[in-house]
Structure 1
């Protein structure tokens, strides 16, 4: 619901907010990266895209909005693509991004980012963009730079091979549907989702343990990757194998792969109501370093 304590801006404040924001382009790249690198863990999702393709909207898959302080310095970012993601956004930047988002209209499937700025952004957008399908107000952000010490890595967890995309796809669809509440095969028939799964497999960032009949028992992917950190996503254990500790040993194995081959810090975020998953990640060595919030449409 709309926070009645949030002050809605008047015409002058709206004009001022909009004048402080603009769509960033190539000359802004170094300044944008400097902001993203201030918190490699929290900003991994946006940073991995910008590091890979720069700020060109077509290649980035969305616009990068920038907010400048009174001295003209770039201080905050907001990625506006399939997701709306505020970065290093204080109250003034949040108001500016909200005004731009309202004028553009909702094009994203979710708002996600650091809990405080995302909550403030949603409070300003809810009246025009709501209602949301679901709001997950507190999702612990967890990270570690060390291998698991109290959990032995599962030796059967390995990288998924290029010719195993079809074998791992049902598990990916099941995880997504269970986590998000809708099937990734809706809309375009799953073409974009299948392409993303294949992309992660080809990059060597999809991991799984297969059962005797070739079914996926455990799986996880490393999604966002930057020089400073990477983010694990899509952790899933087949229902009939749950309760056996496979999420812990599987995550310990994925953590070894990640720290050896990918980045010096490994992160993930998890729903606060998923008590079992949070406990499993703690046992593997992950510790809470912040919190995200997600607004799903």
Structure 2
């Protein structure tokens, strides 16, 4: 039996409490906050989690699974719930302790992991970037889908190790890239009908914007394109929200050096388990 006394779908009456919980760390919890902003009951993907003493935490169990304010006991109850519930998730992301606290209890039925990133600095920026911006950075348009899609797919292959345009996932991935273009969330530098630089707004809340998909075309790497390009994108992003955030693999020294040169500071540590 699913432990409904500890884990249950969020209801409209829970929404104020849920938002308060997520706002305890608006940068780390920006994905959850964005999902709460879109909440429509019933939504089986947003869960309220409790423990034996009545403390509360949150979970989102969609394509990306993440938690907020969950103790180890709450993660145990969540794992029990997920073990008896059909979920379709491709990754567990979030604060490192939470990710591994949950993963060790769900790996028996969700595993094996395809990829584990155990140390991902979570960084944020609240001031103007410290690098002079490239004035040619702009938002890509939906009409440029066929131009942006190959660049996005190449970035995905480099980062994740699989081709998002393979038959099983091509339609979904194409729709996601188009959605970002329609929402005005993809910033590009285009030269000679080629995407030279790209950065996406992966998550957006009233307070925090999370950058994802930062990429420079291979033949243009090493020419100091990314700093001015990302600075320009960030300046435009800051018109949407005051805090810009991202997370990066600990072994990507070049990217970490770039982000620090822009003014980013580490505010936490994420981890990702990709299935």
Q: TM-score, normalised by structure 1?
A: 0.87
- Bigger drift between 272-281 and 158-167 goes to 158-167
Match for residue 220 of structure 2 among 210, 234, 241: 241
The alpha-carbon deviation at position 63 of structure 1 amounts to: 1.2
The structure in which a higher percent of residues are helix is: 1
3-state SS of paired residue (2:238): helix
What is the number of equivalent residue pairs in this alignment?
275
Whole-angstrom CA distance in 2 between matches of 1:113 and 1:227: 19
| Matched-pair contact (CA < 8 Å) for 2:61–2:87 | no
2:161 is the alignment partner of 1:181:
yes
User: Which residue of 1 is the match for residue 97 of structure 2?
Assistant: 116
**1:206 is aligned to 2:186:** yes
Hey, what does 1:229 align to over in structure 2?
A: 208
Q: Distance in 2 between matches of 1:184 and 1:135?
A: 18
Give how far 1:127 is off: 2.8
**CA offset at residue 72 of structure 1?**
4.3
C-alpha deviation, 1:130, in angstroms: 2.3
Alignment of 1:6-21 (within 5 A): 19-21=5-7
RMSD: 1.8
Q: How does 1:109-188 map to 2 (within 5 A)?
A: 109-149=90-130, 151-188=131-168
In structure 2, relative to structure 1, the CA distance for the partners of 1:123 and 1:18 (3 Å cut) is: farther
Instruction: Please tell me whether residue 84 in structure 1 is matched to residue 65 in structure 2.
Output: yes
Could you tell me how far apart the structure 2 residues matched to 1:189 and 1:135 are? 21
Label 1:105 to 1:56 Cα distance change in 2 as closer, same or farther (>3 A).
Answer: closer
Q: Does 1:67 align with 2:49?
A: yes
CA drift of 1:177 comes to 1.2
Contact 1:77–1:88 (CA under 8 A) maintained in structure 2: yes
| Offset, 1:104 | 2.1
Structure 1's unaligned 5+ residue stretches are: 1-13
- Separation of aligned partners in 1, 2:156 and 2:227: 20
* 1:39 aligned partner: 25
Alpha-carbon distance in 1 for matches of 2:90, 2:182: 26
CA contact (8 A) 1:95 1:124 kept: yes
Shift of 1:248: 1.2
Q: CA deviation at 1:27?
A: 2.0
Establish whether residue 51 from structure 1 lines up as the match of residue 17 from structure 2. no
Distance 1:233 1:83 in 2: 14
In 1, Cα distance between equivalents of 2:176 and 2:128: 27
Structure 2 CA distance for aligned equivalents of residues 106 and 133 of structure 1: 17
Q: Does the 8 Å CA contact 1:208/1:216 hold for their aligned counterparts?
A: yes
The offset of 1:267, in angstroms, is 0.3
Is the Cα–Cα contact under 8 Å of residues 29 and 55 in structure 1 kept in the other structure? no
Uncovered stretches (5+) of structure 2, i.e. residues with no partner: none
